[in-house]
């Protein structure tokens, strides 16, 4: 029997020069890497122990990096490899496999500090009446995708990393239209880092 809900968090291994590269040269590669780690732990910690939801951290290139192992030791998550392919193929595979074991699956990235438990639970609730939900991002992409059945075509032929990924995805799914949630922001630019600092300071002290 399938379980009810799973949340998948996609994350890259924290390697300087390989993560948060859009923040360079405003930040050095090492600084960008530290920001990446802070974002990832902030996300995992903030969503830890969601009521009735299993949490999976899907790691690229694999789950063996020490930071991933640290997160597993501190939080109620399981680690998984993202596998091969471009971003769309990885997302499609992760959701397909999740839906073999769960009735509802949601996938998010690790750089959306505005996502909280209330937003995730709202998305799961909307999946009661909708096969697909998307959380739009301010930059024209999306921060969340939720499914009740596999939708491989929604990831095919998408030009990732440009400003109209959400619209490309909606067009790919036509005539079926996904339910859109509230728009959130992710961290791609120096000004986004400042927003992250302010948001984190509302919860924790000592963040520099």
Note the pLDDT tens digit of each residue in 126-174: 999 999 999 999 999 999 999 999 998 899 989 998 889 999 999 999 8
CATH number at residue 105: 3.90.550.10
Which pLDDT value is given to residue 163? 86
d(CA 31, CA 16): 8
Residue 207 lies in a domain: no
Residue 180 lies in a domain: yes
Residue 208 lies in a domain: no
Instruction: Count structural domains, the chain.
Output: 1
The pLDDT of 3-32, averaged and rounded, is 97
On whether the CB atoms of residues 105 and 150 are closer than 8 A, the answer is no
Determine the structural domain holding residue 134 and report its residue range.
3-201
Q: What confidence category does residue 23 fall into, taking pLDDT thresholds of 50, 70 and 90?
A: very high
Which pLDDT value is given to residue 207? 44
- Give tens-digit pLDDT for 168-185: 999 999 888 899 999 999
**Mean pLDDT, the chain, integer:** 94
């Amino acid at each position: 029997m399938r379980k009810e809900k799973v949340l998948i968090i996609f994350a890259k291994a924290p390697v300087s020069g390989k993560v948060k590269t859009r923040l360079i040269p405003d930040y050095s590669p090492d600084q960008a890497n530290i920001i990446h780690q802070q974002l990832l732990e902030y996300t995992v910690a903030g969503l830890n122990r969601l009521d009735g939801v299993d949490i999976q951290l899907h790691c690229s290139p694999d789950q063996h990096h020490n930071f991933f192992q640290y997160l597993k030791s501190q939080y109620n998550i399981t680690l998984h490899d993202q596998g091969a392919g471009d971003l769309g193929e990885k997302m499609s595979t992760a959701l397909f496999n999740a839906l073999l074991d769960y009735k509802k699956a949601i996938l998010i990235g690790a750089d959306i500090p505005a996502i909280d438990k209330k937003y995730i639970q709202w998305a799961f609730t909307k999946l009661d009446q909708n096969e697909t939900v998307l959380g739009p991002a301010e930059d024209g992409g999306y921060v969340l995708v939720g499914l009740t059945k596999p939708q491989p075509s929604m990831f095919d032929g998408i030009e990732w990393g440009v400003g109209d990924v959400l619209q490309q995805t909606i067009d790919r799914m036509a005539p079926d239209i996904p339910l859109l949630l509230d728009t959130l922001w992710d961290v791609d630019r120096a000004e986004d880092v400042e927003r992250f600092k302010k948001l984190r300071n509302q919860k924790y002290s000592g963040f520099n």
